[in-house]
Structure 1
Amino acid sequence: MSAPERYETLLVDERDDRVVVTLHRPEARNALSGRMIAELHQVCELLERTPRLLLLTGHGGVFAGGADIAELRERGRDQALQGINSRLFERVRRLPMPTLAAVDGWALGGGAELAYACDLRIAGPDAVFGNPEPGLGIIAGAGACWRLPELVGESLAKQILLAGRNLDAERARAVGLVMDVVPAAELLERAHAVLDRMARSSALALRLTKLVVDAPGAHPVADDLAQAVLFEGQDKRDRMTRFLERKGSGA
């Protein structure tokens, strides 16, 4: 259930198999403030303690218009070394269960980097991804400089990070940054449908698959260890038995 009393910048809906988080700073295009960062850490703690799927979206037809520039202007070297945004986004990246960003409207700067940190992205037709940080005298320092090349390739990443190119929804789908583009009115419904499909899978298999995919240079040992855990589980036996029974019955 929603717990609005705990959050000032987020709307949080806790369900049995997922948590739905809406960035909610309508007066600032959902810009990521220090308060929002702290509250997103609370959400991460919740999901680390009780692993569930995460759906992350923005209020009012905007995902997030970037970091809060007024706050960012006052940060100095010490704050940069603390990695205020980057530590959060990496924590999101490492959540036990899959994460999905439903993006409509602007996802710029830190907002784009937050979306990049999710495992999957789905977009409305007006979604726009961009990293204009060099125009403000800084770099996209919360993961985009290394995460974006992994997602879309080095050449396109440099067009976005160096040349200031924005990526609209259709182009984002064409290069694989988003899995689908759907009408804005259907965005959350379609996002939930993706989560519904994942929720029907084995939760442990999803967790271990994510661990293996995100484990650089650990293959094939990581694959073998994860598969060994799953092969000993009753869930795997039950699922395969049901599959064979359906196949045998011609269903």
Structure 2
Amino acid sequence: MQTESELSRLMPDGLGLALEINGTRPLRELTAGLNAACDRVEGSAQRSVLLLRLLPTPTDSRSWPGAVGIQDITRWERAVRRLERLSAMSIAVAAGACGGPALDLLLATDFRIGEPNLLLMLPVNDGHFWPGMAVYRLTQQLGAAKARQIVLWGDDLDIDRARGLGLIDQIATDLSEAAHTATVLMGRISDRELAIRRQLLLEASSVEFSDALGAHLAACDRELRRLAFATADKEDAS
């Protein structure tokens, strides 16, 4: 995983960080690279976007995560969760087979762009679906019934099915142009309020109404105060 000068054309100046994800690299290296990218985005005083370019996964590398220990898995899952909770918007672009760590990251991003040849390749070891947090995210995003069909049978998902399920947001033949456009549009809404709304979405399927109400009311109160300040500023300016 590394930043590349060739990725600069995907990222408009001043709008964030573009990162290339090579899923064949060791898990510890991937974890360190992802955490470093999150550090840079969180340290930015401006609204920003984290753009992930997911390199194709070799089709003979379906097994995931390989020869690692549970501590390595724990650190990786924490890094992916950190990505999922960034105040910055996260965008993934992918082509070809997408599996292993690339699939984990794709499921954790806010906006996902795929080429027509994209194939979401689910992690299966010795006939068993890898029980990582991809299972959790699939269930959250699709519901238990649809996730069950995918997880228990280990089905790969082509671009049309992935788009139909809502796992891919846009199909594009020119990933560079699509990523550039999405970055410009979504960089405008990357801030703390984005993180709050994303968290409300993530919790909606698992939290009881009475427990969720307080968080939603607090978010509504913050928004009302923000709007009041914005209105006051406009009146003062006039």
TM superposition score normalised by structure 1: 0.73
For 1:211 and 1:78, locate their aligned partners in 2 and report how far apart those are by CA, in whole Å.
26
- Determine the structure 2 residue equivalent to 1:10: 2
> Among 125, 133, 139, which residue is 2:116 paired with?
125
Alpha-carbon spacing, 1:41–1:65, altered in 2? closer, same or farther (3 Å): farther
- Determine the structure 1 residue equivalent to 2:36: 42
Alpha-carbon spacing, 1:139–1:221, altered in 2? closer, same or farther (3 Å): same
Q: How does 1:163-174 map to 2 (within 5 A)?
A: 163-174=153-164
How far off is 1:135 after superposition?
Answer: 3.0
Give me the CA root mean square deviation: 3.1
For 1:175 and 1:70, locate their aligned partners in 2 and report how far apart those are by CA, in whole Å.
24
Task: Say if 1:108 and 1:129, in contact at 8 Å, map to a contact too.
Answer: yes
TM superposition score normalised by structure 2: 0.77
Structure 1 stretches of at least 4 aligned residues deviating more than 6 Å after TM superposition: 68-71
For 1:195 and 1:158, locate their aligned partners in 2 and report how far apart those are by CA, in whole Å.
33
Alpha-carbon spacing, 1:163–1:134, altered in 2? closer, same or farther (3 Å): farther
Does 1 or 2 have the higher relative contact order (CA < 8 Å, sep 6+)? 2
How far off is 1:122 after superposition?
Answer: 1.2
Deviation per residue, 1:172-217 (Å, 9 max, x gap): 111111111111xx11211221221123447455444334434544
Secondary structure of 1:10 counterpart: coil
- Determine the structure 1 residue equivalent to 2:69: 76
**Which ranges of structure 1 fall in alignment gaps of 5 or more residues?**
1-8, 239-251
How far off is 1:71 after superposition?
Answer: 9.5
Alpha-carbon spacing, 1:78–1:46, altered in 2? closer, same or farther (3 Å): closer
- Determine the structure 2 residue equivalent to 1:135: 126
- Determine the structure 1 residue equivalent to 2:142: 152
Secondary structure of 2:34 counterpart: helix
How far off is 1:84 after superposition?
Answer: 2.6
How far off is 1:31 after superposition?
Answer: 4.7
- Determine the structure 2 residue equivalent to 1:188: 176
Deviation per residue, 1:20-66 (Å, 9 max, x gap): 1112x4xxx6456321221111001111222521111134xx1x459
Secondary structure of 1:22 counterpart: strand
Task: Say if 1:105 and 1:128, in contact at 8 Å, map to a contact too.
Answer: yes
For 2:200 and 2:226, locate their aligned partners in 1 and report how far apart those are by CA, in whole Å.
13
- Say how many residue pairs are matched: 218
For 1:214 and 1:235, locate their aligned partners in 2 and report how far apart those are by CA, in whole Å.
31
